[in-house]
Structures are given as C-alpha cells and as structure tokens.
C-alpha cells in the first residue's frame, strides 16, 4: 500500500518526495544543507550531478511503500526514464535546522 507523500511523518523527507515528484529543482535544492552529501548503492556521488541525471533529466518519481526511523527511512518504488521502476531504500540525515544533510539510496 502506497503512503501518500503528504502523510509522510518527517517534514524534510515529505518535502523531498514532493520536490522529486514535482521535478522541482529549486524546491529540491532549498531542502539541502549547503554541504549536503549523498550515496547511491553504497558509493558517494556528486549530489548535483546525480540529482540532475537520476531525478530531473529522467523524470524520477517516488512511490513510498514503507517508512521507519520516524519517517527518515523509506522503502519506495522509484521510477525514471533511464532505469524504469525498481524497489529502493532511502535513508535521510536531517540537520537541526531541518535541512537534509545527507541521503543514501540504493536497491532494496
């Protein structure tokens, strides 16, 4: 059963999913701490390059199936025009100011 993005518990993660699904680059960037980092399948990536390629240029979309760790860990079906749909895991580190300091994703 899919969890609607508006029902996700963590405000930063909720906004992240909304920005990804709306393909809203400005909203996405506004959610991130200035020195935010990310990893894909266990490897650190250049966040700006990865987001452009995997989210924005390829029309990425998240359908959340499960959340844990107070809403900062997700299992979701992620789809984009490059890879199609896959089951993925997402983990978020949110700073005290509410900005996303790091996220990690990969196949679940």
Q: How far apart are alpha carbons 24 and 61 in whole angstroms?
A: 12
pLDDT in tens, 21-52: 999 999 999 999 999 999 999 999 999 999 99
Tokens of 67: 């959340």
Instruction: State the pLDDT at residue 60.
Output: 97
Say yes or no to pLDDT of 55 above 90: yes
**Domains of the chain and any CATH numbers:** 5-107 (3.10.450.50)
Instruction: State the pLDDT at residue 1.
Output: 79
Average pLDDT over residues 70-98: 97
Q: How far apart are alpha carbons 52 and 1 in whole angstroms?
A: 29
Helix (H, G, I), strand (E, B) or coil at 76: strand
């Amino acid at each position: 059963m899919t969890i609607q993005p508006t029902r996700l518990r963590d405000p930063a993660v909720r906004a992240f999913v909304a920005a990804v699904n709306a393909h809203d680059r400005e909203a996405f960037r506004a959610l991130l701490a200035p020195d935010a980092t990310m990893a894909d399948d266990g490897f650190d990536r250049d966040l700006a390059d990865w987001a452009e390629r995997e989210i924005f240029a390829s029309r990425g979309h998240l359908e959340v199936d499960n959340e844990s760790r107070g809403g900062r860990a997700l299992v979701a079906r992620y789809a984009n025009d490059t890879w199609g749909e896959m089951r993925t895991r997402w983990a978020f580190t949110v700073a005290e100011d509410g900005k996303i300091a790091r996220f990690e994703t990969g196949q679940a």
